[in-house]
Amino acid sequence: MAKATQKQALGRGLSALLKDPANDIKSVQDKNADKVIGNIVELELEAIEINPFQPRTNFNEETLRELASSIKELGVIQPITVRKLDFNKYQLVSGERRFRASKLIGLQTIPAYIRIANDQESLEMALVENIQRQDLDPIEIALSYQRLIDEIQLTQEQMSERVGKKRSTIANYLRLLKLDPIIQTGMRDGFLSMGHGRAIINIEDQSHQLDIYEKILSDKLSVRDTEALVKNYHNKGETKSPEKTELPKFIKNGVKEFSEYFGQKINVKVSKNGKGTISIPFHSEEDFNRIKKLVQSAK
């Protein structure tokens, strides 16, 4: 307990050092930089801004409240990491859940490691650190890998070294981005696993991908069942559905807009006399309520 108190006191002492405008630390060469950079410092939450390079986009409210409750009881056990932007101004590199949870319970300060980094270094640090987390969904990880390729110009071999993953593992994640966006959303929402996604990606035609996706959801297919379904699809050459009435152009365009709005494939059936039906599938009570809200908001 004495060591913890001493550590906290040290953190508060460093906080005061950082608030001295006459000796503002801007680089690792500056006076007292060695006392601050890489050390744990108590920073005011108001002095920290969210990292625009953060690859995580979904924060589960329930788990965030659970973390907030834990922090309220035990404090922030693992410090966040920030980079110094300006005098008493910092930007998150990693630890956004701890940052958000601390704000949720009204904390004024949070323990933080301080680093000096430019935008590119900050992006790479944020992406690499977040990829190594256990609670990212497969699409978030795939998008992070893609950003390392697009924005940092890393090869898959270089990424393998940075994140400690096999090159084949990285390639498997990147392939998920070839899935239809509706299926990607389904993976992010937890309706199907990465194993399901890896099976579906072996089908190039995205309309057929969606057919299999809907069958997975409606029949609650396992990964093995999905692999067998995809294998059967290839063995038959492209399994074709019974011939359907050609949809008019205005319906095709409208269906696309409907599907994007509701976040899943909308089914439209049209008879020869021009009459038809529109059906919106849902996969759970939560999904039904989500669709209901979208319909109500459109009134």
Looking at the structure of the chain, the number of domains it has is 4
Q: Residue 96 has what pLDDT?
A: 86
Q: Which residues contact 217 (CB under 8 A, 6 or more apart)?
A: 186, 191, 192, 281, 283
Tell me the residue type at 226. T
Tell me the per-residue pLDDT of 106-164, one tens digit each, with 9 for 90 and over.
999 998 888 776 666 666 777 777 677 666 788 888 888 887 777 677 888 888 888 88
Task: Please report whether residue 58 resides in a domain.
Answer: yes
Catalytic residue IDs: 96
State the pLDDT at residue 242.
39
Q: Looking at the domain assignment, is residue 183 inside a domain?
A: no
pTM of the model: 0.47
pLDDT band at 46; cut points 50, 70, 90 = very high
Q: Tell whether 18 and 111 lie within a shared domain.
A: yes
Task: List the strands of the sheet with 80-86, edge to edge.
Answer: 40-44, 109-115, 80-86, 89-94, 48-49
Which of 154 and 53 is assigned the larger pLDDT?
154
71 and 165 in a single domain? The answer is: no
Looking at the structure, tell me whether residues 70 and 17 fall in a common domain.
Answer: yes
269 shares a domain with 222: no
Length of the chain: 299
Q: Average pLDDT for residues 102-107, to the nearest whole number?
A: 93
User: How large a percentage of the chain has pLDDT more than 90?
Assistant: 15
Residues 154, 108 share a domain: no
Nearest to 165 by CA among 128, 200, 193: 128
Q: What is the dihedral of CA 180, 182, 188, 192, to 10 degrees?
A: -80
Phi–psi pair at 91, nearest 5 degrees: -135, 135
Give which of 287, 266, 288 is closest to 277, Cα–Cα: 266
How much is the pLDDT for 196?
Answer: 94
Q: Which one of 66, 87, 117 terminates a domain? A: 117
Residue 246 per-residue DSSP state: P
Q: For 42-56, 206-220, 250-264, which range has the lowest pLDDT when averaged over its residues?
A: 250-264
DSSP 192: S
Note whether 248 and 258 are within 8 A (CB). no
Q: Which domain holds residue 36?
A: 2-117
Whether 63 and 111 map to the same domain: the answer is yes
Q: How do beta strands 48-49 and 89-94 pair?
A: parallel
Per-residue model confidence (pLDDT) at position 7: 41
Mean confidence (pLDDT) of the chain: 77
> 273 pLDDT exceeds 70?
no
Indicate which CATH number applies to the domain containing 12: 3.90.1530.10
* pLDDT tens column, 233-271: 888 755 444 344 566 777 777 777 777 777 667 777 776
C-alpha dihedral (70, 71, 77, 80), degrees to nearest 10:
130
CB 92 within 8 A of CB 33: no
pLDDT score of 35 more than 70:
no
**Residue of 297 and 185 predicted with greater confidence:** 185
The beta strands (E) that lie in the chain are given as: 40-44, 48-49, 80-86, 89-94, 109-115, 267-270, 276-279
